[in-house]
Structure 1
Amino acid sequence: MTEALLSFSRHHKMALLMLLDTLLLPLALWSAVLLRLGGVWDPKLNPFWWIFLVLPLWVMPIFIKLGLYRAVLKYVDDKLVTTVFSGVSLAVLLLMAVIMMAGITPFPRTSIIIFWVFAMAYIGASRFVLRGLIRRIDAHDAPRLPVLIYGAGHAGVQLMLALQAGREYRPLAFVDDNPQLWRRTFRGVAVHAPAELPLLIDEFAPKAILLAMPSVGRSRQRNILQALEAHHIPIKSLPGMADLVSGKASYDQLREIDIEDLLGRDPVPPRVDLLSANIGGKVVLVTGAGGSIGSELCRQIAALSPKHLLLFELSEFALYSIHQELRQLAPTLAITPLLGSVTDYDRLLSVMTGFKVETVYHAAAYKHVPMVEHNPVAGILNNAFGTQTCAQAAQAAGLATFVLISTDKAVRPTNVMGATKRLAELCLQALSDAGSRTRFVMVRFGNVLGSSGSVVPLFKQQIAAGGPVTLTHPDITRYFMTIPEAAQLVIQAGAMGEGGDVFVLDMGEPVKIIDLARRLVHLSGLEVKDTQQPNGDIEIRCTGLRPGEKLYEELLIGDNTLPTPHTRILRAQEHCLPLGELQAHMSRLKLACDELDAEQAFMLMQEVVQEFKPAAQTADWLVAASREDVAG
């Protein structure tokens, strides 16, 4: 029966509610008169019994006008009381007017006040009783997952209310660090101290812990996650406060724990003058615009009011994707998608002169270490000669600023990818040292979370598939930074250089990859399978270092750094080669690449990039790489 009622259409449900009120209103007036007269008044002996029947005729239009029947019963809240109060009060005033105009003098006047109370109680209580009935039916029909909410502030309470109205989760208790909130209850959900968390887990067996503290800093979130990690229960989190306030996300849109939450790195507010210096009102070109770093640069540049944004990309699909996204983000901005290769000098020069480009952010590069190790000639042509070609075109077109996105792997490289990026730096340093009108700036940083080749998405996929989680070595460590922070710092660093500068971003503390893998497993509610836990869920397996891979990454070749106006940006003092000497090396290297001689190109790279010390595994790939390049 109840399921049939719930399946009624919206209009049928409204009609049933109106019928219910048509019965409740006369009942409220009858109850009021009986209570006033002690049950001795008989309307059959009185000619004014019709007042009970006509009462709904003017009350129902009032309720309809106030929107009482537009509210969805399952989601009615305290605002309903205000609506019922207003409607019943107007009904009482009209009832008094009808009694006075009809001259119903025997009608007990004080019963009108009692009717006001009874009508409020009958109409209001009927809604809350129906709401409770509907929610019970929903809970019975769709069992919800029991959860705990960490954080009993405004966000936590809003999350609890959203979950109680939904059908997926059932909040059982709050956990909060604030002693003033302990033992309080919100809609029947009590607040407990963090020390009671093990007891709550034993009592309720929650399927997840929901972190509802969107306004706290990442370092504080990291400490909380470290404390929760030991319980091996899946953890989800609310979106950030900025997204909640802007309306981009709602309180019931829970997300998986992001890796930046685990790192606990609080962002530094950007300097607006540095952000807009090379962008505001200028024509800006981004190469590799469809890549992970390039696309984020485009998003942030679009928000800084450039005159024109040019997207230069070799991949048609990547270019289409970022162009469509930017059209939504900045519909009034002039954005031009351009297909082309960074090794095509004529195409680049035509674009730069034709659009009168003023600033270039050069993000186009092959950066997946094993992939470039297998294809060294392709990596050299794209990363080193592509950068040189772009820089020469920028110089010929008279551009003001050229910013190269470099990498920590360019420091004492052990792989071809790192060596090509260091060679790209040397090309810009030589051009700047020779005296160039274009200001060449290099920005060097480590791994960015979520970029192509990042371990984090791979780990999550492996955990979801039941494992094993694979990493190359138990001692391998890496620096990490989020893509938005990296792009923001790149833009600011690009505004500070005088020419030939190598800037290094403060990447924080290095992270052991195996610790990162363990934490991701634990925060997914699973146990690592090892010798201590042979019955665990996910095995972590070390496969051995890949060709050219280093255990530890560095950001500086030497120890000479200078501070800058930004606390997270340092200026490195690196050696460079004279332009003539570098050009001689580049000519021989280009000849080897044109002949697809990977072994010769590899040897020449060691000559020009003096810090290049290839790993032992790299030599084993040279012959195979030569064959692959020739086949290609």
Structure 2
Amino acid sequence: MKLGSKKTILVLLDMVLIWISVMIAYLLRFELHIPAAYMRQWIEYSAISMVVGSACLVYFKMYRRVWEYASIGEVISIFKAVVATCTLSYFIMIWLHEPRVPFAVYVRVMENMILIIGASRFIWRVVRDKYNKKQSNQRKALIIGAGDCGILIAKELKYNSNSPVYPVAFVDDDPSKYKHFIMGVPVLGDRNEIIRIVETNDIDEVIIAMPSVSKLEVSEIITICKHTKAKMKIIPRINDLIEGKVTINAIRDVQVEDLLGRDPINIDLDGIANYVQGKVVLITGAGGSIGSELCRQIAPFHPKKLILLGHGENSIYVIEKEIHRLFPTLHIEPVIADVQDLERMKEVFQTFQPKVIFHAAAHKHVPLMERNPAEAIKNNVFGTRNVAECAHQFNAERFVLISTDKAVNPTSIMGATKRIAEQIIQSMDLVSQTKFVAVRFGNVLGSRGSVIPHFKEQIALGGPVTVTHPEMVRYFMTIPEAVQLVIQAGAFAKGGEIFVLDMGEPVKIVDLATDLIRLSGFEPGIDMEIQFSGIRPGEKLYEELLLSEEGLGNTSHDRIFVGSPLKISQSELALKILRLEKVITDKHGTVYEAVKHLVPSFSNVG
């Protein structure tokens, strides 16, 4: 049936209901026998009310509403339409007809219309609620949070015929809601009752619908839910949703990032804009996980030009296309180059004259670099030296080195080379107008070489999941979080500092593996085994973030700390690096001795 014909039928039906309302009002007023003197008045009043009523119902958009989802808003609209209809009809009758319509009839007509027209609308809601029950193929869902978001989710799940899950219970910490029904769904307790409720009600999925609470609180709830066999889902933070519109598509799986319990970072937008906006910005390693995120987060600050430098053509092509799509007016310059090639670096700096450099290009895989120490040294040491010397020679304003916690008391060649890179930029700062700083942080979730993708791959293949040691711990943060803090730290640069990011509490790798298995719908030790493979070359059980001689100071940002600049002789460092350069191809331990000469705390013996 076409919309127009459907609307016509509804208008005619409402006219009949209005006629019935007026007739009942007259019958009640005159005790079921309408006097002959009022018969003509009744007919005229009915006709006028029908015409005026249909016009008012159209004006108040009563035919554009989906009555299966009727709520308080529809009740108010019905009330407005009926009051307008009865009042206009009454005054028209006063103007046209004597005797005057009894006021009691006017009141009763209004009452009848509200009841009859309202009932005609809400009967669709009653029918839907009566027959909309859980289907046998739908999974049972527990919604955590009986607030606005939780109610919207329950409504969507109940009345969407394509929903694979059906809400059977709420959990909420507000005691006033306990044992009450919302959208026909009972509130069975607070968060402390989650495990019991899941077990007694055979819950298949838990949906965390608390988008406005802190990530720490969400993390605490997830920790409770981990002790159940139910699959966990979550609604994104409220800022990620279109205001007032929450749908099934907004529900996503709980991810490892949600377990960290870290709230969004507050950044000084003006401070960052002051050193990025209108400047030529060079990002090395722009195709990598950290480098590409730097591109995404620097682009909104309107640099004059964004240079994406990388050795791999495919990764640079991908990030260039993404940034161009997101920021079509930004001047982007993709550059394929190797930081180990000094002449090529000079050519890039000569051509583009970058003023701000983020040096993210590096080899980072610890066991792989243990097997290829020369490549780690050439890329992480000589490559950093090349880019830093060019920054100095071509008068860059700021140079930010992306470093790692593995540079502190290193046990791997990768960590040692990153420590040497830190020394290079600290020594350069002593003789240069360029502000050279480093930002040191731990592991980032989801980066290339991260343990998370490795675990996910093992889970996808059916296990087992391999962990090197039961006591191994690491610091973790998300890639966007780390990059935001890196950019913010750049605004604090005075020269020579090593900024240290607040990584939160260290996480046991075995706990991370256990959580990932559970988040994937399996039970550790039952559905999927965890096996310990032993510590790999270059690894240690825990990482440190600061050398003892660096000290630790605060910055104006509560998540960024600063180590005191160390006095490093550029000439002495240059001689040591020259020695390293001469022995780099040696395979009999001399290269490790040269590295240890540069980094006395390096404990790897080759």
User: In which range does the TM-score fall when normalised by the shorter chain?
Assistant: 0.7 to 0.9
Q: Which moved more, 1:320-329 or 1:539-548?
A: 320-329
The answer to whether 1:292 aligns with 2:289 is: yes
Amino acid at match of 2:75: V
**1:488 Cα offset (Å):** 2.4
The separation in 1 between residues aligned to 2:368 and 2:247, in whole angstroms, is 41
2:33 aligned residue: 40
Answering whether residue 434 of structure 2 is matched by residue 438 of structure 1, we say yes
Residue 275 in 1 paired to residue 272 in 2?
Answer: yes
**2:222 equivalent in structure 1:** 225
Structure 2 residue aligned with 1:115: 109
Q: Give the alignment partner of residue 562 of structure 2, picking from 571, 583, 608.
A: 571
Distance 1:288 1:247, change over 3 A: farther
- Give the structure 2 partner of residue 367 of structure 1: 364
Q: Which residue of 2 aligns with 1:352?
A: 349
* Counterpart pick for 1:552 among 542, 553, 571: 542
- Shift in Å at residue 173 of structure 1? 2.7
TM-score, normalising length: structure 2? 0.86
Following the alignment from structure 2 to structure 1, what is the Cα–Cα distance between the partners of residues 348 and 413? 30
Deviations 1:460-479 (A, max 9, x none): 45445543322222221101
d(CA) in 1 for partners of 2:115 and 2:545?
71
Distance 1:361 1:91, change over 3 A: same
Within-5 A mapping of 1:580-591: 580-587=571-578, 589-590=580-581
Of 42-51 and 471-480, more deviation after overlay is shown by 42-51
SS at match of 2:449: coil
Cα pair distance change 1:448/1:610, threshold 3 Å: same
Partner of residue 79, structure 1 = 73
Asked if 1 retains the 8 angstrom alpha-carbon contact of 2:194 and 2:224, the reply is no
User: Residue 538 of structure 2 aligns to which amino acid in structure 1?
Assistant: G
Q: Which residue in the other structure is 1:449 paired with?
A: 445
Please report how far the alpha carbon of residue 238 of structure 1 lies from its aligned counterpart in structure 2 after TM superposition.
1.9
Comparing 157-166 with 451-460, greater Cα deviation is found at 157-166
Quick one: structure 1 residues 459 and 30, their matched pair in 2 at CA, closer, same or farther if it must change by over 3 Å?
farther
1:126 paired residue number: 120
Q: Deviation at 1:597?
A: 7.0
1:500 matched to 2:496? The reply is yes
Using the alignment, how far apart are the partners of 1:300 and 1:472 within structure 2? 34
The 3 A distance-change label for structure 1 pair 262 and 290 is same
Which piece of structure 1 moves more, 506-515 or 550-559? 550-559
Residues 268/49 of structure 1: CA separation in 2 closer, same or farther (3 Å cut): closer
Task: Indicate yes or no: 2:532 matched with 1:542.
Answer: yes
Task: For residues 415-450 of structure 1, give each alpha carbon's deviation from its aligned partner in whole angstroms, at most 9, with x where no partner exists.
Answer: 3322332232232233334x1222211111110122
CA distance in structure 1 between the partners assigned to 2:315 and 2:124 by the alignment: 53
**What is the CA distance between 1:265 and its match in structure 2?**
3.4
Q: 1:468 maps to which residue? A: 464
1:174-193 matched pairs, under 5 angstroms: 174-191=170-187, 192-193=189-190
Aligned-partner residue type, residue 175 of structure 2: P
**C-alpha distance in structure 1 between counterparts of 2:578 and 2:183, whole Å:** 75
Residue 152 of structure 1 corresponds to 146
- Check the 8 A contact 1:408/1:555 in 2, yes or no: yes
CA distance in 2, matches of 1:248, 1:559: 54
Q: Is 1:212–2:205 an aligned residue pair? A: no
Residues 363 and 369 in structure 2, CA contact (< 8 A), matched pair in contact too? yes
* Cα distance per residue 1:172-202 (max 9 Å; x no partner): 3322233344344433334323344344334
My pick for the range that moved more, 240-249 or 544-553, is 240-249
With the length of structure 1 as denominator, give the TM-score of the two structures: 0.83
CA contact (8 A) 1:158 1:251 kept: no
Q: 1:511 aligns with which of 501, 504, 507?
A: 507
The offset of 1:25, in angstroms, is 2.7
Cα distance in 2 for residues equivalent to 1:515 and 1:9: 59
Greater Cα shift, 403-412 or 377-386: 377-386
Query: How far 1:571 sits from its partner (Å)?
Result: 3.3
Residue of structure 2 in register with 1:27 after alignment: 20
Tell me the distance in 1 between the aligned counterparts of 2:524 and 2:282.
46
Could you say which residue in structure 1 is the equivalent of 2:408?
A: 411
Aligned residue for 1:68, secondary structure, equals coil
Which deviates more, 115-124 or 36-45? 36-45
Give the conservation status (yes or no) of the 8 Å contact 1:284–1:309: yes
Over residues 216-252 of structure 1, what are the superposed CA-to-partner deviations in whole Å (9 max), with x where a residue is unaligned?
A: 3333333322233222322222211332477897686
Letter in 2 for 1:546: R
The one-letter code of the counterpart of 2:530 is I
Give the aligned partner of residue 601 of structure 2: 611
Change (3 A) 1:196 1:419: closer
The Cα shift of 1:322 comes to 3.2
Cα distance between partner residues in 1 of 2:419 and 2:134: 64
Q: Is the 8 A contact 1:147 1:170 kept in 2?
A: yes
User: Do the aligned partners of residues 179 and 98 (structure 1) sit closer, same or farther apart at CA in structure 2, a change above 3 Å counting?
Assistant: closer
Contact preservation (8 Å) 1:74, 1:165: no
Report if aligned partners of 1:376, 1:598 keep a CA contact under 8 Å in 2.
no
CA offsets, 1:346-395, max 9 Å, x none? 44334434443221111122222234344444433332222111111111
- Percent identical residues: 40
Question: Against the structure 1 CA distance between its residues 494 and 13, is the aligned structure 2 distance closer, same or farther, given a 3 Å change threshold?
Answer: same
Select the structure with the greater relative contact order (CA < 8 A; seq sep ≥ 6). 1
Q: For the Cα contact (< 8 Å) 1:409–1:554, is it kept in 2?
A: yes
Separation (CA, whole Å) in 2 of partners of 1:517 and 1:10: 55
Q: Distance in 1 between matches of 2:144 and 2:181?
A: 14
Q: Say whether the 8 Å CA contact 1:562–1:571 is kept in structure 2.
A: yes
C-alpha distance 198-410 of structure 1, shift in aligned 2 (>3 A): closer
Q: Is the CA contact 1:412–1:612 (under 8 Å) kept in the aligned structure 2?
A: yes
1:81 deviates by 1.5
Preserved CA contact (<8 Å) 1:283 1:309:
yes
CA contact (8 A) 1:233 1:523 kept: no
- Other-structure match for 2:89: 95
Counterpart CA distance in 2 for 1:206 and 1:20 is 45
Offset from partner CA, 1:504-552 (integer Å, 9 cap, x none):
22322211111122233345554221xxxxxx22221223333333222
Q: 1:387 aligns with which of 384, 389, 413?
A: 384
Question: Quick check: 132-141 or 546-555, which moved more?
Answer: 132-141
Change (3 A) 1:71 1:241: same
For the residue of structure 2 that corresponds to 1:170, the secondary structure is strand
CA RMSD of aligned residues (A): 3.6
Corresponding residue to 2:551 among 540, 548, 561: 561
Q: Rate the CA distance shift 1:283–1:591 in 2: closer, same or farther, 3 A.
A: same
Aligned to 1:310: 307
Instruction: Check the 8 A contact 2:145/2:208 in 1, yes or no.
Output: yes
Query: Could you tell me which of 237, 254, 259 is aligned with 1:257?
Result: 254
Residue equivalent to 2:54: 60
Instruction: Classify 1:196/1:398 alpha carbon distance in 2 versus 1 (closer, same or farther; 3 Å).
Output: closer
Q: Which moved more, 1:226-235 or 1:393-402?
A: 226-235
Contact in 2 for aligned 1:92/1:112 (Cα 8 Å): yes
- Cα pair 2:499 2:561 within 8 Å, conserved: yes
Kindly tell me: are residues 215 and 15 of structure 1, through their superposed partners in 2, closer, same or farther at Cα, counting changes over 3 Å? same
Aligned partner of 2:403: which letter?
A: S
Deviation track 1:315-361 (CA, whole Å, cap 9, x = no partner) reads 34433443444445545544444333323434433443444322111
Q: Is the contact made by 2:277 and 2:301 (CA closer than 8 Å) also made in structure 1?
A: yes
